[in-house]
């Protein structure tokens, strides 16, 4: 099972000091955070995409390429790549380039985002969000698997004899997660292609996430990719830790109350009860995370949001230290002991390449 963190790239005033970091500071800090994630033994760092304040990450592949050059084992991903407003040709090119530079340590999470104005900014109609996601991914999927593409759709100009360059590393496209909080159509899309489904259940009660994951698993099996429990599932979450749980609550409360993603709404206690947000001791985080398996089944990737709401970078690095030393080692052991042998691990470039070579060898053997 893979464990890691994701960032939404917000630039938020620290409510305890009144200081707001500059864009330059947050961009450099995110690199420091990603490198420290590898240093403490985490597997994945994912970065979101936004084109509006108070967020800075308008070009996640640029940032991830810079991080790739300074890391060795960290799997690099996106918390959201906007499949609805980005040109699928540009996505194909950018991520294939990143894949080469990172020696295959790349996957991506496709989503529609949560900022309505982004659609007209990029010449799209928000009312066509789902059709855009479906058509654009169909083209992206084809571009990475066919050398010469002839294509015509509704939302972009046709392609004639087009080849996306560079080609995916080893002719193995980056693994794709389809991310959604609320749209069953996206779960269906992930299942249809046999891709991963990332349920970022940071705003919803467990019953909603359970229904979404169950739908994906059922449809994954329906399309013949494997049994329902072999479907590839990822979860998002949020934690803040202290050795003493009461101290964790006291320290995090002002950040929660002012956070751009959920501040000025429910109380910290209400939000912690109704969603997977866990503010407390490392053991509480362990127990809560292990409990996710009870309603989504065995899953392959767990990412946490940790660098948001104005938290100073020093505090984020301290949180990563706790995560890497006290939480993730226990979770690795516990999840591994519970996982049946037929349930796959999260796909990596190495595993996808091995599967491709085996498939090619079987094909040659049949033809012979």
What's the pLDDT band for 309 if we cut at 50, 70, 90?
A: very high
The mean per-residue pLDDT over the stretch 155-184 comes to: 95
Q: If you write DSSP's letter for every residue of 337-348 in order, what string do you get? A: HHS-TTSPPPP-
What's residue 81's pLDDT? 93
Respond yes or no on whether the N-terminal peptide bond of residue 166 is cis (omega within 30° of 0): yes
The mean per-residue pLDDT over the stretch 114-139 comes to: 85
Instruction: List C-alpha distances in Å: 48 to 51, 160, 188, 305, 368.
Output: 10, 32, 22, 11, 47
Tell me how far apart the alpha carbons of residues 159 and 152 are, in angstroms, rounded to a whole number. 6
Mean pLDDT of the chain: 94
Distance of CA 158 to the CA centre of its chain: 30
Tell me how far apart the alpha carbons of residues 246 and 223 are, in angstroms, rounded to a whole number. 48
Reported for 24-27, long-range contacts at CB under 8 A and 24+ positions apart, including other chains, are: 26/56, 27/56, 27/63
Tell me how far apart the alpha carbons of residues 317 and 306 are, in angstroms, rounded to a whole number. 9
Query: How many domains does the structure of the chain reveal?
Result: 1
pLDDT at 221 over 90: yes
What's residue 263's pLDDT? 65
Tell me how far apart the alpha carbons of residues 27 and 247 are, in angstroms, rounded to a whole number. 29
Mean pLDDT lowest among 70-74, 89-93, 179-183, 291-295 = 179-183
Query: What's 37's domain CATH number?
Result: 3.20.20.30
The mean per-residue pLDDT over the stretch 60-80 comes to: 97
The mean per-residue pLDDT over the stretch 200-206 comes to: 82
Which residues pair with residue 110 across a beta bridge? 81, 178
Burial class (CB in 10 A: 0-12, 13-18, 19+), 253: middle
What's the pLDDT band for 202 if we cut at 50, 70, 90?
A: confident
The mean per-residue pLDDT over the stretch 213-240 comes to: 97
What's the pLDDT band for 114 if we cut at 50, 70, 90?
A: low
pTM (whole model) above 0.85: yes
What's residue 119's pLDDT? 78
- pLDDT tens per residue, range 1-37: 999 999 999 999 999 999 999 999 999 999 999 999 9
Work out the number of other CB atoms within 10 angstroms of the CB of residue 192: 17
Q: Specify whether the CB–CB gap between 9 and 79 falls below 8 A.
A: no
pLDDT at 69 over 70: yes
Tell me how far apart the alpha carbons of residues 83 and 137 are, in angstroms, rounded to a whole number. 7
Tell me how far apart the alpha carbons of residues 177 and 195 are, in angstroms, rounded to a whole number. 6
- pLDDT tens per residue, range 129-148: 899 999 999 999 999 999 99
What's residue 121's pLDDT? 79
Range of the domain at 122: 2-367
Q: Specify whether the CB–CB gap between 326 and 41 falls below 8 A.
A: no
pLDDT at 368 over 70: no
What's residue 163's pLDDT? 98
Buried-exposed string 135-147: b where 16+ CB fall within 10 A, e elsewhere: bbbbbbbbbbeee
What's the pLDDT band for 126 if we cut at 50, 70, 90?
A: confident
The mean per-residue pLDDT over the stretch 338-343 comes to: 96
Q: Specify whether the CB–CB gap between 347 and 175 falls below 8 A.
A: yes
pLDDT at 320 over 80: yes
What's the pLDDT band for 118 if we cut at 50, 70, 90?
A: confident
């Amino acid at each position: 099972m893979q464990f890691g963190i994701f960032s939404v790239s917000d630039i938020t005033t620290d409510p305890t000091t009144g200081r707001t970091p500059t864009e330059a500071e947050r961009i450099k800090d995110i690199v420091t955070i990603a490198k420290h994630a590898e240093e403490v033994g985490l597997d994945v760092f994912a970065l979101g995409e936004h084109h509006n304040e108070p967020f800075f990450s308008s070009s996640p592949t640029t940032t991830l390429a810079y991080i790739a050059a300074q890391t060795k084992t960290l799997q690099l991903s996106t918390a959201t790549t906007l499949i609805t407003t980005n040109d699928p040709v540009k996505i194909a090119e950018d991520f294939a380039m990143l894949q080469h530079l990172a020696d295959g340590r790349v996957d991506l999470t496709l989503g529609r985002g949560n900022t309505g104005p982004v659609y007209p900014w990029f010449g799209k109609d928000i009312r066509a969000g789902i059709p855009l996601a479906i058509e654009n991914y169909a083209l992206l999927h084809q571009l990475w698997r066919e050398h010469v593409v002839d294509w015509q759709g509704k939302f972009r100009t046709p392609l004639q004899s087009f080849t996306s360059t560079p080609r995916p590393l080893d002719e193995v496209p980056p693994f794709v997660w389809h991310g959604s909080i609320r749209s069953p159509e996206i779960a269906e899309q992930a299942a249809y292609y046999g891709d991963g489904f990332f349920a970022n259940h940071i705003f919803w009660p467990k019953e909603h996430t359970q229904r979404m994951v169950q739908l994906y698993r059922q449809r994954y099996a329906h399309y013949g990719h494997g049994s329902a429990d072999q479907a590839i599932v990822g979860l998002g979450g949020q934690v803040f830790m202290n050795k003493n749980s009461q101290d964790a609550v006291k320290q995090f409360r002002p950040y929660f109350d002012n956070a751009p993603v959920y501040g000025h709404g429910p109380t910290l206690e209400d939000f912690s009860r109704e969603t997977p947000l866990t503010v407390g001791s490392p053991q509480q985080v362990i127990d809560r995370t292990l409990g996710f398996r009870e309603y989504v089944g065995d899953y392959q990737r767990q990412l946490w949001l940790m660098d948001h709401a104005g938290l100073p970078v020093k505090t984020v690095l301290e949180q990563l230290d706790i995560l890497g030393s006290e939480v993730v080692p226990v979770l690795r052991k516990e999840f591994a002991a519970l996982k049946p042998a037929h349930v796959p691990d999260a796909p990596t470039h190495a595993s996808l390449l091995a599967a491709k070579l085996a498939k090619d060898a079987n094909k040659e053997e049949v033809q012979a």
